[in-house]
Chain A
Amino acid sequence: MALLDSNEWQDLSGKLAAASTSVQVQELRAEWIGRRGRITLALKALSNLSPEERRQQGQVLNAAREQATRLIDERLEQLRQQEEDRQLLNERLDMTIAGVEPKVGLLHPLTRVRRLLEDLFLRMGFSLAYGPEIETTWYNFEALNIPENHPARDMQDTFFVDLPGMVLRTHTSPVQIRGMEAAAGSLPVKIIAPGRVFRRDDDATHAPMFHQIEGLVVDRGITLGDLKGTLVAMATELLGASIGTRFRPSYFPFTEPSVEMDVTCAACGGTGCRTCKGTGWVEILGSGLVHPVVLQNGGYDPQEVSGFAFGLGIERLAMRIFGLDDLRPLYQNDLEYLMAFDRYTGRPML
Chain B
Amino acid sequence: MKLSHRWLARHLKEAPDPEKVALGLLQMGIEVAAVETWGEIYQEIELVEVVERLPHPHADLLSLVTVRRAPNDLVTVVTGASNGYCGDRVWYAPPGAHLPDGRVLETVTMRGIPSPGMLLSAAELGFQDTTGDLWIYHGDLPLGSRFIEEVGGTDTVYELELTPNLAVFDQSVLGIARELAAVLKLELTPLNAPLPYRKDSGLAEVKDPLACPIYGLSGFEIAGVKHSPLWMQVLLVAIGIRVIHPVVDVTNFILWDLGHPLHAFDQERVVLPIEVRKAFEGEVMTLLDGSECQLSPADLVIADQIGPIALAGIMGGQRAAISAQTRQVWLESAYFNAPEIFLSMRTHRLPTDAAVHFGKGTDPEMVPVAAQATVDILRSCGVRVNNGSSTIIGEMPIRRRISFQPDRIRSLLGVDWTNQAIIHALHGLRFEIDGDWVTIPSNRHDVSTTEDLCEEVARVIGLDMISATVPNSPNVPGSRNDEVEFQERLRDLWVESGYCEVVTRPFWAPSRDVITMSDVAATVRIKNPLRAEEEELRTSLLPHLLEVVGYNRARRDQPVAVFELAPVYERTQNHAKEPMQLAVAEILDDYPQYPKGLPEDLAIYRLKGALEWVNRRLNLGISMVTDRELPDFMHPGRSVSVLDTKNRWVGFLGELRPRVASRYHAKRIGVLSLFEVYHTQSAISGVVPSPSRYPEVIRDLSLVVPETSTVGILNGIVMDTSLSDLKSLRLIDVFSGPWGRSVTLRMVFQSNSRTLTDSEVDVQLTHLIEVLRRHGMTMRER
What is the interface of chain A, defined by CB distance below 8 A to chain B?
Answer: 97, 100, 103-108, 110-111, 115, 118, 121-128, 130, 132-134, 149, 151-152, 154-155, 159-164, 166, 168, 187-188, 190, 196, 200, 202, 207-209, 217, 219, 221-226, 228-230, 232-233, 246-251, 256-259, 277, 289, 291-292, 306, 330-336, 338-339
Contacts and interface: CB of A to CB of B under 8 A. Distances in A.
A188 B484 CA distance: 22
B500 A161 contact: no
A200 B530 contact: yes
Contacts of A162: 524-527
Given A257-B458, A338-B502, 16 more contacts: A103-B498, A107-B492, A115-B488, A124-B478, A125-B476, A152-B164, A163-B571, A163-B574, A208-B505, A219-B473, A223-B412, A224-B454, A226-B414, A246-B464, A249-B28, A333-B504
14 contacts: A105-B561, A106-B500, A124-B478, A159-B529, A161-B537, A162-B524, A164-B574, A168-B526, A221-B411, A228-B463, A333-B551, A335-B560, A336-B552, A338-B500
Contacts of B165: 251
B549 to A, nearest CB: 9
Contacts of A161: 524-527, 537, 576
B282 interface: no
Interface in B556-574: 556, 558, 560-563, 567, 569, 571, 574
Interface size class of B (residues with CB under 8 A): 35 or more
B578 interface: yes
Nearest to A247: B463
B163 to A, nearest CB: 3
Contacts of B350: none
Contacts of B464: 246-247
B452 A256 contact: yes
B607 to A, nearest CB: 12
B412 A107 contact: no
B552 A250 contact: no
Interface of B: 26-29, 31, 33-34, 163-167, 339, 342-343, 346, 359-360, 411-415, 449, 451-452, 454-455, 458-459, 463-464, 466-481, 484, 488, 491-492, 494-507, 524-530, 534, 537, 548, 551-552, 555-556, 558, 560-563, 567, 569, 571, 574-576, 578, 594-595
Contact of A163 (B28, B339, B503, B524): B524
A224 to B, nearest CB: 5
B567 A133 contact: yes
Nearest to A154: B346
B342 A163 contact: no
A233 B469 CA distance: 10
Contacts of B411: 221, 223, 306
A123 B342 contact: no
Most B-side CB within 10 Å, residue of A104, A118, A256:
A256
Contact of A166 (B31, B167, B503, B576): B576
B414 A225 contact: yes
Contacts of B527: 159-162
A208 B507 contact: yes
B454 A256 contact: yes
Contact of A332 (B167, B414, B551): B551
Contacts of B29: 248-251
Given A106-B495, A128-B480, A161-B537, A331 B504 contact: yes
Contact of B478 (A125, A208, A228): A125
A331 B552 CA distance: 13
A3 B498 CA distance: 74
B488 to A, nearest CB: 7
B469 A229 contact: yes
B552 A335 contact: yes
A256 B451 contact: yes
A103 B560 CA distance: 12
B595 A100 contact: yes
A111 B491 contact: yes
Given A149-B342, A248-B29, A334 B495 contact: no
Nearest to B164: A151
A159 B552 CA distance: 29
Contacts of A277: 33-34
A151 B360 contact: yes
A251 B452 CA distance: 11
Contacts of A164: 574
Nearest to A225: B414
B576 A105 contact: no
A209 B538 CA distance: 14
A103 B598 CA distance: 13
A333 B481 contact: no
Contacts of A125: 475-478
A200 B526 CA distance: 11
Nearest to A190: B473
Given A111-B491, A126-B478, A226-B470, A134 B576 contact: yes
Contacts of A207: 505
Contacts of B574: 163-164
Contacts of B556: 336
A297 to B, nearest CB: 15
A230 B480 CA distance: 20
A286 to B, nearest CB: 10
A212 B495 CA distance: 23
Contact of B528 (A133, A155, A159): A159
Contacts of B167: 151
B666 to A, nearest CB: 14
A111 B500 contact: no
B410 to A, nearest CB: 9
Contacts of B595: 100
Contacts of A159: 526-529
A222 B471 contact: yes
Contacts of A229: 468-471
Contacts of A187: 473
B468 A127 contact: no
A244 to B, nearest CB: 12
A335 B561 CA distance: 9
A277 B569 CA distance: 40
A202 B534 CA distance: 12
A108 B502 CA distance: 6
A111 B501 CA distance: 9
A202 to B, nearest CB: 6
B470 to A, nearest CB: 5
Most B-side CB within 10 Å, residue of A134, A152, A226, A338:
A134
Those 6 A-B pairs whose CB atoms lie nearest each other, nearest first: A223-B414, A249-B29, A225-B414, A257-B455, A251-B163, A229-B468
A104 B467 CA distance: 47
A201 to B, nearest CB: 8
B528 A160 contact: yes
Contacts of B343: 149
A249 B537 contact: no
Contacts of A110: 503
Nearest to B472: A221
Given A249-B458, A257-B451, A289-B451, A232 B468 contact: yes
Contacts of B504: 331, 333
Contact of A132 (B449, B563, B576): B576
B478 A223 contact: no
B451 A291 contact: yes
A246 B470 CA distance: 17
Contacts of A154: 346
A246 B346 CA distance: 36
